[in-house]
């Protein structure tokens, strides 16, 4: 699997001469409110200019009757165009609740936080050059890119010597940036059930970056656990499934990737839980226009439909998403003629 970085186009567009245009517009959370109603309220269209204010855009959508919350992200970029993701939480819809912010006075060494920032820069450069492949078989990420991998080797050394500090920061630090660093670096400590429990707890953090890093760390542990079941590491799918209903894009994206690992080999308990708790959310994600984001949820739907992975990929490569979605929903195909 590869790791991609989400970059807000508003941030990059603010410093540019001409902000990017709007490309694909993807929706999630829509049950009663239509996409057309949202586009009309937001004054949005593909090919138009990216609105100058993310907050104002969310306010317009939130004023639509039946909408409680709105969350908009612009992902930069497909050529000169930004990809938009518009999420809403409607009245009575599933709600992913998180704990309140931590308030503890605990910190990480500045040397580690500086290394982590430089690591993110190395990952961004590697991704822009098509070199973002990573190996998760050790239970943590080791990237093919030499610069990024060098920082990860530093994380291994730090984690071996400072596991208790990482755990304390992850749970109690008031600064969410520090908790996010801890959620990433703690994944390089020895793989134990206690580590799994810490990361599952971090998935309920108030900050989305902490949750995303915790899910990435757990995904790598899931790869190791599948490879070495004798380790006895147990990762519960429950919170990942709940994340599929979140209004935050990264919650949905990272949980779908993690669930692909946790359902590998046709693990029915996790698949049954997805069907029970998040089927509608998975379907809308599998229909997203932006293909690299739609693929993981589509693969999950194929497994829900009882299809083998090679068959699911054949449908995907043929551009035939709807037959797989109908099968997952248990909806018969329409008769022709």
Q: What is the pLDDT of residues 152-164, one digit of tens each?
A: 999 999 999 999 9
pLDDT at residue 51 above 90? no
pLDDT of residue 100: 87
Going by the DSSP 8-state scheme, the letter that residue 102 receives in this structure is P
pLDDT value of position 102: 86
Q: Which residue ranges does the chain devote to CATH 3.10.20.310?
A: 9-90
Detail the DSSP E strand segments found in the chain: 21-28, 67-78, 81-90, 134-135, 142-143
The yes or no reply on domain 9-90 and CATH 3.10.20.310 is yes
Q: How confident is the model at residue 17 (pLDDT cuts 50, 70, 90)?
A: low
Q: Count the helices and strands in the chain (H runs, E runs).
A: 15, 5
Cα→Cα distances 321→100, 293, 315, 337, Å: 39, 14, 6, 21
Q: Over range 118-129, report the average pLDDT.
A: 93
CB 203 within 8 A of CB 215: yes
Q: Which distant-in-sequence residues (6+ apart) come within 8 Å of 189 by Cβ?
A: 159, 160, 163, 166, 195
pLDDT at residue 4 above 50?
no
What pLDDT is attached to residue 87? 97
Looking at the DSSP bridge assignments, the partners of residue 84 are 25, 74
- Number of neighbouring beta carbons within 10 Å of residue 231: 14
């Amino acid at each position: 699997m590869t790791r991609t970085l989400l970059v807000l186009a508003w941030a990059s567009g603010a410093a540019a001469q001409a902000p990017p245009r709007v490309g694909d517009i993807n929706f999630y959370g829509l049950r009663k409110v239509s996409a057309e109603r949202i586009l009309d309220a937001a004054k949005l269209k593909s090919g138009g200019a990216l609105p100058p204010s993310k907050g104002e855009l969310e306010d317009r959508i939130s004023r639509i009757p039946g909408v409680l919350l709105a969350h908009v992200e612009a992902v930069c970029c497909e050529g000169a165009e930004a990809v938009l993701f518009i999420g809403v939480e409607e009245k009575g819809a599933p709600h992913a609740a998180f704990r309140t912010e931590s308030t503890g006075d605990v910190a990480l060494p500045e040397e580690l936080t500086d290394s982590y920032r430089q690591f993110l820069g190395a990952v961004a450069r590697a991704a822009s050059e098509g070199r973002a492949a990573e190996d998760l078989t050790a239970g943590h990420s080791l990237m093919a890119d030499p610069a990024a991998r060098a920082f990860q080797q530093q994380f291994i050394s730090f984690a071996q010597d400072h596991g208790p500090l990482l755990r304390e920061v992850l749970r109690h630090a008031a600064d969410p940036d520090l908790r996010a660093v801890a959620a990433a670096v703690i994944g390089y400590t020895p793989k134990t059930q206690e580590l799994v429990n810490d990361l599952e707890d971090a998935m309920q953090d108030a900050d989305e970056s902490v949750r995303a890093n915790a899910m990435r760390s757990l995904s790598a542990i899931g790869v190791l656990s599948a490879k070495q079941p004798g380790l006895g590491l147990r990762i519960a799918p429950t919170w990942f499934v709940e994340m599929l209903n979140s209004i935050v894009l990264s919650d949905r994206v990272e949980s779908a990737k993690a669930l692909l690992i946790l359902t590998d080999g046709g693990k029915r308990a996790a698949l049954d839980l997805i069907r029970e708790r998040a089927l509608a959310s998975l379907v809308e994600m599998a229909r997203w226009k932006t293909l690299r984001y739609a693929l993981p949820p589509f693969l999950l739907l194929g497994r829900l439909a009882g299809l083998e992975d090679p068959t699911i990929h054949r449908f995907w490569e043929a551009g035939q998403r709807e037959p797989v979605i109908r099968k997952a929903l248990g909806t018969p195909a329409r008769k022709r003629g």
